[in-house]
Amino acid sequence: MRNSHPAKGIYRKPAESTTELGMAAGVEERLSKAISQAEEVALELVRSGRLDEAMRCVFGAIREAMRPLVESVRELRESLEHERELRKSLEGDVRRLEGRIIEFGLGERLARWCADHGLKFGSLPRDLFRVDGVIEGERLLALVQIAKTGTEEDVAQLLAGARIYRDRLGEEPNALVLYVYASRPSEELSSMCEEHGIIVDNSPKRIARRLAELDEALKEAR
């Protein structure tokens, strides 16, 4: 009875690449032919005492035979460089996507804390408004930028977002918020935000509470 299970312990040599085998065979054939042709000429040159010419003849034939291989290696190198560039590009896209997913989750978390204070959080298309979202109360209109640690660029985006929001929708935001999630805001960042009247914090709970207090103050000031 034939055993239906594959034999164990049998080593099978991996098949070599068809491209590599074809390239090697082609180069070997061209090299052999070129040397054979050059050999006859070289022998005649050696017999007549023209050794230098004989050497140039042989090396010239070898060089011509090897030229396709050199071209193939150059093309392979360019292909590998293109592959590395493509991989770097894809890795960058993946990191950006991961960042957007994290920020979306953080936005949802901030939205829940805002809801506890009667505030509404909504996302904004970043390509249009340069910021991640808007928080609204009875009188409050706050733009929010979510960032890992917070940079000067994030501050600039908030300020630009306020101008764009005003120009597009005809409403002036009365608060700007930078929500950083990887660590507490640095002194430099806190100072920069204070200079521009931006609320910066790494706690969505504190942000929601502070905005609720601001909304109450705005209602009382009417």
Distance, in Å, from the CA atom of 143 to the CA atom of 132, rounded to the nearest integer, reads 8
Q: Is 199:176 a contact under the CB 8 Å cutoff?
A: yes
**pTM of the complete model:** 0.59
Q: In the chain, what percentage of residues exceed pLDDT 90?
A: 44
Distance, in Å, from the CA atom of 211 to the CA atom of 139, rounded to the nearest integer, reads 11
Going by pLDDT thresholds of 50, 70 and 90, the confidence category of residue 30 is: low
Average pLDDT for the chain: 79
Nearest to 186 by CA among 153, 162, 217, 150: 150
Q: Is residue 109 part of a domain?
A: no
Distance, in Å, from the CA atom of 123 to the CA atom of 200, rounded to the nearest integer, reads 18
Q: Is residue 101 part of a domain?
A: no
Examine the domain organization and report whether 163 and 129 are in the same domain: yes
Q: In the chain, what percentage of residues exceed pLDDT 70?
A: 65
218: CB partners within 8 A, 6+ apart: 137, 138, 139, 140, 174
Residue range 122-179, pLDDT digits in tens: 988 888 999 999 999 999 999 999 998 999 999 999 999 999 999 999 999 999 999 9
Strand partners, 180: 147
Examine the domain organization and report whether 124 and 193 are in the same domain: yes
Residue range 154-164, pLDDT digits in tens: 999 999 999 99
Examine the domain organization and report whether 88 and 134 are in the same domain: no
Examine the domain organization and report whether 70 and 146 are in the same domain: no
Examine the domain organization and report whether 70 and 129 are in the same domain: no
Q: Is residue 105 part of a domain?
A: no
What is the total count of domains within the chain? 2
For residue 165, what is the domain's CATH number? 3.40.1350.10
Residue range 46-64, pLDDT digits in tens: 566 676 666 666 667 666 7
Q: Is the pLDDT of residue 200 over 90?
A: yes
Examine the domain organization and report whether 88 and 144 are in the same domain: no
Domain membership of residue 84 as a residue range: 18-94
Examine the domain organization and report whether 88 and 138 are in the same domain: no
